[in-house]
Structure 1
Amino acid sequence: MNNKALKVLEFDKIKAEIAKYLITTRGKTLLKKLMPMSVESIVQRLIDQTKDGADIVRIKGEIPVRKLADLHDQANRLKKDGNLNGTELAAIGQVLQNTSELKEFFEDLKDNQVELRQLYDLNDDLINNPELTRRIARSLDDTGRVLDTASDDLKYIRSHINKLNDEIRQTMAQFTRGKNTKYLTEALVTLRDDRFVIPVKAEYKAKFGGVVHDQSASGQTFYIEPQAVVGMNNQLHEAKLSEKSEEIRILNNLSDMVRPEIDEIVKNNEVLAQFDLINAKAKYAKEIKATEPIISDNHVVDLEQAKHPLIDPDKVVANDIRLGDGYRTMLITGPNTGGKTITMKTLGLIQLMAQAGLFIPAREASEIAVFDEVFVDIGDEQSIEQNLSTFSSHMDNIINIIHKVSEHSLVLIDELGAGTDPQEGAAIAIAVLEKLATSKADIMATTHYPELKIFAYNTPETINASMEFDDKSLRPTYRLLIGIPGASNAFNIAARLGMDKSVVDRGQALMDGESQDLNNMIADLENRRKEFEQKNDQLKIQLSKNKDIQTDFEKKSDALDKSKNSEIQAAKVRANQIVAKAKKESEKIIDKLHKMEQDGVAIKEDQIISAKTNLKNLHQDEAIKKNKVLRRNKRRQALKVGDSVKTLTYDQIGTIVRKNKDNEYEVQLGILKMKFSADELEKVQNAEQEPEKKPTMVRRTKSTGLSSKLDLRGKRYEEAMTELDQYIDSALLAGYNQVTIVHGFGTGVIRKGVTNYLQRNPRVKSFGYAPASSGGSGATIVDL
């Protein structure tokens, strides 16, 4: 985009508002480079990033980016084999730490199934280096100070320094207490040349021996290091030299570790800066209550309730602005200070914002087009230096626009043809508009010339518009009216302000007939518009009443439906309560049977499985069962003794041997006999029957219909345990020796429940967590 458009439309002020939310140095650099893009795919990617940022701000508050420095100086020094100080290395450590935090942050968003368009991919550009991150964190604090944990030698040296400090202070204490205080100007211990000294009166400077390090300006006080601590101070000095040497060694080692990784770290810093900028865009969007712009498929601008983002939101008037659908040129007329220029700037600035990937201050689903350029000629740009008049400057800009405009450009011209003779100005304005129209560019222009109103009315793909004016209050309303040219209100205003009627009448009489006809036409259009708005308001009220009636009808219909099924539902609830109570009692009996088996009493497993299955089948779902067609087809099956059937619960083929009085079918499954309801059986057509004379041979085979893996993730505890119990039974019948139960990590409730169940089940030989490559502790492998 050309700099003139950015300057006139005040795009830099938008960037200044965004800058308030930036915290990284590189983020501020990226903001300075932020420009509207003219490639649709790039614009959409930038908008998607801001949309992701806005979703994260809504859900999490912000993207957790730290205050990070620019690392280019550090990188250049390392590449020249230089070493870094603690502050510089700490800045690198901050980048590494923030990289690790963001990787974890986005993994958490994935786990919570937060959908993002772009930022997961951007996060993938971050390269984590956990070992180097831990090493720097262990060695330096955020300010760059070397920590005791950086090395064992440093920890020992500092411990020795602390010990010497304590010993020196204890020794010095004898000189600041008791009878020795009379030789001192002050009873305190201080430092000179990094050594502990006491302030001794001049006449007693030889009292304690030792070394004189300084004296006061008056010469009355000498700062003396007593002989008793000279040796310890020497040891302390040597220990501090050792500390400094060890710190330098640690920093050099860290520099050597960072050196081969610096390019990746700098790239990480750039990605973190992008996250910082996206975060700032999203927060600014939230501040001005902006929405995601939709890129039009037909190169149409359709802004609903658009507001200028730099005007007080409590004062600015929102307008619907449309351009490109049915007309490519819009001519706005109306009185001065009526809002024409602001409306034009609103369109231009919103386009620049959207094409820079920002959200826009307009209603949701507002559409923007992607323009290759936005050209503007707004305001009086008279230049004394260049000796250009207002009209000359105006024409110079328009000539430049005509030379560069294309069919994908947006042209904004304020007061087209102004600054010269009205008749000539109107003529040149029409000629300019015709020339610009040949390029098929989208154009919005403001004017006072009545000739241009007629031109817009008679020219294809051109439309009149105006800023509404309230005749009663004699004030503009700042509302854009598309399709209606602005009327001249000079005579009305003059009359209402008290101008003599003869003067007003004479002025009107002096107007030519064409102008009078035009004003009459505009007045008629305005009256028709107001009449339409009144009728539209009435229709809206009637529509609202109709919707209320429809809503009331739907509520009553729903109430009838609920009433229809309420008795059935209540009966099922009562039945389920009875079954639940019976099931609870029966489980006690089954547990007792298992205990008897453990004590040596032989209990057949098929008896236990049959009992539990029958109890489960007693429960009725309270919700109406789905797939009524299938249920009707099943009921049509005429099951009888001797039929071969497939048990839907266990996916096994068996033979009906008996039907009892409860309408249950007893089915022979190999060596087992089990009871099923009709809904749990499916008749097998053309089943091969073995000759009756041949001895029955039972073989356990794996069912191709049963998976060797059961996934319990996302299920409620009771549902998961019931499904697990049924699955283990099915796996045993299918002849599986080993199955996998996937329970995930989560809160651990399902995993614990699975473990407890497997421990209780005597048919489970052994179980344990899956290998790391197969899910680790998120899955359990069971041997049956």
Structure 2
Amino acid sequence: MNERVLRVLEYHKVRDHVVRLASSSLGKARAQELVPSSDLAEVEAWQRSTAEGVTVYRLRGLIPLGGIHDNRSAIRRAALGGILAAAEMLDMADTIMAGRRLKKFLQDTNDEESIPELMKLAESVPELKQLEDEIRAVVDDNGAVRDTASAELRRIRVEMRTQQARVKEKLESIIRQPTYQKMLQDPIITQRNDRYCVPVKVEYRGSFDGIVHDQSASGSTLFIEPAAVVRLANALRELEIKEEREIQKILQQLSAQVGQHANELQDGQEALAELDFIFAKTAYARKLRAVRPLFNDQGIVNVKRARHPLIDPNVVVPSDLRLGEDFILLVITGPNTGGKTVTLKTLGLLTLMGMSGLHIPADEESMLSTFDEVYADIGDEQSIEQSLSTFSSHMTNIVTILEQVDFRSLVLFDELGAGTDPTEGAALAMSILDFLKERGVRTVATTHYSELKAYAYNEPDAINASVEFDVQSLRPTYRLLIGVPGRSNAFAISERLGLRRAIIDHAKSRLTTEEVAVDELIRKLEQNQHVAAQEREKAETLRRELEMLMDEFEQEKQQYYSQKDRMMERAEEEARKAVRKAEQEAAEIVEELRRIAAQERGQIKEHRLIELRKELESKTPKLKREAKQPKAKPADRPLQAGDHVAIVHLGQKGHILEIKGNQVMVQIGMIKTKLKKEQLELLPPEQEPTRTIASRKKIETKQVSLELDLRGANVEEGILAIDKRIDDSLLAGLSTIHVIHGKGTGALRAGVQEYLRTHRQVKSYRYGVEGEGGNGVTVVTLR
């Protein structure tokens, strides 16, 4: 993209905003390189990554980007065998930790909602926990090498501290001696050139034995290392040299480990730079309340309620901008300071932002196109140094543009043909527009020339537009009206400013009939456009209110179902408690009956006891809950535009206007609203919807008894009955069946168990224990 158009459209100001929002020097450097791309696949990938960044902000809020440093130079030196400083090592460890933390953060976010573009970058961030631990074991949080980095370093530093104490002790004994106190400027110990000194008055230089290391600015004080401590200080210096050598040895070993992971660390640096840059773009999108634009490479632009990103959002007026579908040339007319240039710059700058992967300040479903080049001739480019007039300067730029454009270009002209004779300027402007139109170039031009209004009206690939002007307040509204040419409003403005009515009427009489008719036609078009805009705004307000009411209705409905469930659970729990109490009492009664039966030698049959117990169990209440959300009946084909549908959760009918993914635009009477596919049920074209929430039938689960009584049946009848009961029990989710066959001759029992032994759905079977019927009952466990 040419630098001139980036400068004219103030693209660098947008880029500077993104740079400031980056958290690290890596991200800032990456943002500083931001330029538009004409490759559709690349632009869409950039847009996806920015959209995923918005998703991360929405789901998780603050993103952990702290601790990232630019270590690229240090990594390259380590790879070549160089020794890194302790502070560089600390930056390396901090970056490894920050990368690992950010990677974990993105992985957790990806578990909630897929972010594939960001995860690709996160996979390139190395974890290298062991290397980080080794660095932190050597370097402390202040960037100094720890005493514990090696046993030798620890020993050296212990000796150094001992020797430093000896030196200071000797110096303190000197400054306390009365002989020396009168010679000292101050009784203190200081350091000069890494040697311990005392401040001696210059007049005592000959009396104080030692080495001079420095002198004060005034020359009245000499900083002298006493001769008595020179030997001790020399020994200390030798230990310091040993310390430096040991530190270099330790850092060399650690640098070698960094060099072994150089490729991973470099890849991680690039990934962290890109991630920081993406989240800077995301932060800018949030700041602008921007949206992700749809993209094409066909030169089609349709931006809804576009706002210039560099104008205060509290004063900027949104505009709808269209180009490239029904027309490729847009001619904007209107008074000065009416907003024509702002509209032109808004279109150009939003195009460049979108092609850079930035979201744009506009409404959802706005569309932009990629262009190989964007050209702009905007503002006064007069060059005093080149002695060019305004017209000459503009024409020089236009000549350059016309030599380079093709059908993959977007061209923006501000006041095309201005600065010269109006008649010649208008003719030249029309000729330039013809040249561009014939080559299929998408072009937007602003002008004062009324001749261009007629030109745009008569050309099939061109259309007029204007910026609205409020005659009552004598101020522009900055609202763009596509399809309506601008009026000069000179008479209306003059009258509002107090010009005599007679003068205005005389001026009107000088206009031709055609000019008066055209002006009146434009006035009516503006009026109709204004009314239509008001009606659209009312319809949009009603749509938003309906969506809010639908959301409130859904929330209240869910609250109702939740409350109903809680009430049913409480009722069911109370019922279970009552039944458990009754079962306990019944069990006591049964036990008493069994005891009596034993005494009376089996007068009461075991199977009768089982029947009584199962009858009690069947009395346990089973409460059914209604579905929380009614489901639409599956269609035998995909939904299409024009289909008649029932909105099952509202009990309403409508027809489909448009389908985008899972979102469906449905017309319900006078209202248009967006719904999800699963909320809609396909109807035949002639059928009115009759299904409502109240009329939907509930399918109840068939109750299956735990017992199968085969007494009186032969073996063949028993096997058929068992086979059916096993199927019913599996469907009902039961795992146990009690088959009552009695004792009798044993033929039915033997036949039943022989069949159960080979049945593939039977896990095991056994005779009933005491209380279950003994040998007269077979208990079957299903798989």
Q: TM-score, normalised by structure 1?
A: 0.72
Q: Identify the residue that residue 602 of structure 1 maps to in structure 2.
A: none
Contact 2:415/2:446, CA 8 A, preserved across alignment:
yes
Question: d(CA) in 2 for partners of 1:351 and 1:126?
Answer: 32
CA distance in 2, matches of 1:525, 1:390: 34
Aligned to 2:459: 459
- Cα separation, partners in 2 of 1:555 and 1:63, compared to 1, 3 Å: closer
C-alpha deviation, 1:412, in angstroms: 1.1
Distance 1:506 1:264, change over 3 A: same
Residue equivalent to 2:625 = 623
Displacement of 1:485 after TM fit? Answer: 0.8
1:692 match:
751
The equivalent of 1:579 in structure 2 is: 576
Residues 297, 171 of structure 1: alpha-carbon distance in 2 compared, 3 angstrom cutoff: same
Q: Is the 8 A contact 2:167 2:232 kept in 1?
A: yes
- Show the counterpart of 1:241: 241
Cα distance change of structure 1 residues 543 and 318 upon mapping to structure 2, 3 Å threshold: closer
Q: Deviations for 1:431-455, whole angstroms, at most 9, x for unmatched residues?
A: 2222222222322111111122122
Counting only pairs closer than 5 Å after superposition, residues 119-158 of structure 1 correspond to structure 2 as: 119-141=118-140, 144-158=143-157
Report the Cα offset of residue 466 of structure 1: 0.5
Aligned counterparts of 2:555 and 2:66: Cα–Cα separation in 1: 56
Q: Aligned partners of 2:356, 2:551: CA distance in 1, in Å?
A: 47
1:23-34 superposed matches below 5 A? 23-34=23-34
- The 1:166–1:423 alpha-carbon spacing in structure 2 relative to 1, beyond 3 Å, is same
Give the deviation of 1:339 after TM superposition. 0.4
What is the Cα deviation at residue 42 of structure 1?
A: 0.8
Q: Which residue of 1 aligns with 2:519?
A: 519
Q: Per-residue deviation at 1:116?
A: 1.5
Deviations 1:125-162 (A, max 9, x none): 22332332222232234664323343232233223323
- Counterpart contact for 1:465–1:485, Cα < 8 Å: yes
- After the TM superposition, which residues 724-735 of structure 1 pair with which residues of structure 2 at under 5 Å, given as runs? none
Q: CA separation in 1, counterparts of 2:568 and 2:38?
A: 67
* Structure 1 residue 225 corresponds to structure 2 residue 226: yes
Q: Structure 2, unaligned stretches of length 5 or more?
A: 585-612, 632-696, 711-717, 743-747, 764-779
Determine the C-alpha separation between the residues in 2 that align with 1:144 and 1:431: 70
- Decide whether the 8 Å contact of 1:205 with 1:224 is kept in 2: no
Question: 2:134 is matched by which residue type in structure 1?
Answer: R
What is the match of residue 165 of structure 1? Answer: 164
Indicate the percent of aligned positions where both proteins have the same amino acid. Answer: 35
TM-superposed CA distance for 1:205, in Å, is 8.2
1:657 corresponding residue in structure 2: 739
Is the 1:57–1:63 Cα contact (8 Å) retained in structure 2?
yes
Report the 3-state secondary structure (helix = DSSP H, G, I; strand = E; otherwise coil) of the residue aligned with 2:196. Answer: strand
C-alpha displacement of 1:693: 9.0
The answer to whether the 8 A contact 1:23-1:67 is kept is no
Amino acid at match of 2:625: A
1:335-369 CA-to-partner distances (Å, cap 9, x unmatched) read 01100010010011011001101111112332222
**Do 2:68 and 2:99's aligned partners in 1 also have CA atoms closer than 8 Å?**
no
Matches within 5 A, 1:263-662: 263-295=263-295, 299-533=299-533, 570=567, 573-579=570-576, 618=620, 620=622, 623-624=625-626, 631=700, 641=710, 642=718, 643-644=721-722, 645-646=725-726, 647-648=729-730, 656-658=738-740
Distance in 2 between residues matched to 1:151 and 1:501, nearest whole Å: 99
Pick closer, same or farther for the CA change 1:733–1:110 going to 2, 3 Å: farther
- Equivalent-residue separation in structure 1 for 2:563 and 2:201 (angstroms): 103
User: 1:617–1:210: structure 2 CA closer, same or farther, 3 Å change rule?
Assistant: farther
Question: Counterpart of 1:395 in structure 2: which amino acid?
Answer: M
Distance across 1 between alignment mates of 2:161 and 2:762: 75
Q: After TM superposition, give the deviation of residue 332 of structure 1 in Å.
A: 0.7
Paired with 1:62 and 1:279, the residues of 2 have a C-alpha distance of 10
For the 8 Å contact 2:334–2:448, the answer to whether it is kept is yes
**In the TM superposition, what is the alpha-carbon distance from 1:317 to its structure 2 partner?**
1.5
Moved more, 217-226 or 494-503: 217-226
The 1:636–1:538 alpha-carbon spacing in structure 2 relative to 1, beyond 3 Å, is farther
Letter in 2 for 1:576: E
What is the alpha-carbon distance in structure 2 between the residues aligned to residue 651 and residue 695 of structure 1?
A: 24
- 2: CA distance between counterparts of 1:293 and 1:479? 21
Deviations 1:559-585 (CA, angstroms, capped at 9, x unpaired): 9x979x999985663232342587799
Asked if the contact 2:46–2:357 (Cα under 8 Å) also holds between the matched residues in 1, the reply is: yes
1:87: Cα distance to partner?
Answer: 3.7
1:49 equivalenced with 2:49 (yes/no): yes
* Secondary structure in 2 matching 1:20: helix
Q: Is the 8 A contact 1:53 1:63 kept in 2?
A: no
Give the C-alpha shift of residue 122 in structure 1. 1.1
1:110 aligns with 2:192: no
Contact kept in structure 1, 2:19 and 2:32, CA below 8 Å: no
Contact 1:35–1:356 (Cα < 8 Å) also in 2: yes
1:9-57 Cα offsets, whole Å, 9 max, x none, are 1101111111112243333332232111111111111111112222333
Provide closer, same or farther for how the CA distance between residues 573 and 488 of structure 1 changes in structure 2, counting only shifts above 3 A. same
Query: In 2 relative to 1, CA 585–303 (structure 1 residues): closer, same or farther, beyond 3 Å?
Result: farther
Structure 2 counterpart SS, 1:325: coil
Deviation at 1:193, TM superposition (A): 4.3
1:176–1:188 contact (8 Å) kept in structure 2? yes
Q: Please tell me whether the aligned partners of residues 76 and 262 of structure 2 are also in contact (alpha carbons under 8 angstroms).
A: no
Partner letter of residue 574 of structure 2?
A: Q
SS in 2 for 1:315: coil
Distance 1:206 1:553 in 2: 97
Contact 2:327-2:460 at 8 Å conserved across structures: yes
Distance 1:220 1:75 in 2: 48
The code of the aligned residue for 1:256 comes to: A
- AA aligned to 2:295 is I
Change in 2 beyond 3 A, CA 1:162/1:494: same
Q: Give the letter for the 2:572 counterpart.
A: A
Q: Could you say what secondary structure the match of 2:261 adopts? A: helix
Mean Cα deviation higher: 83-92 or 236-245:
83-92
Once the two structures are TM-superposed, the CA of residue 480 in structure 1 deviates from its matched residue by 0.8
Where 2:131 maps in the other structure, the secondary structure is: helix
For 1:512, the aligned partner's letter is: T
Query: Distance in 2 between the 1:555 and 1:284 partners?
Result: 34
Change (3 A) 1:521 1:211: closer
1:92·1:265 contact (CA, 8 Å) conserved in 2?
A: no
Specify every segment of 5 or more residues in structure 1 that has no aligned partner in the other structure, as ranges.
Answer: 588-610, 660-665, 667-688, 705-731, 736-784
Deviating more after overlay: 101-110 vs 15-24 = 101-110
Matched-pair contact (CA < 8 Å) for 2:40–2:370: yes
The answer to whether the Cα contact below 8 Å between 1:83 and 1:255 also exists between their aligned partners in 2 is: yes
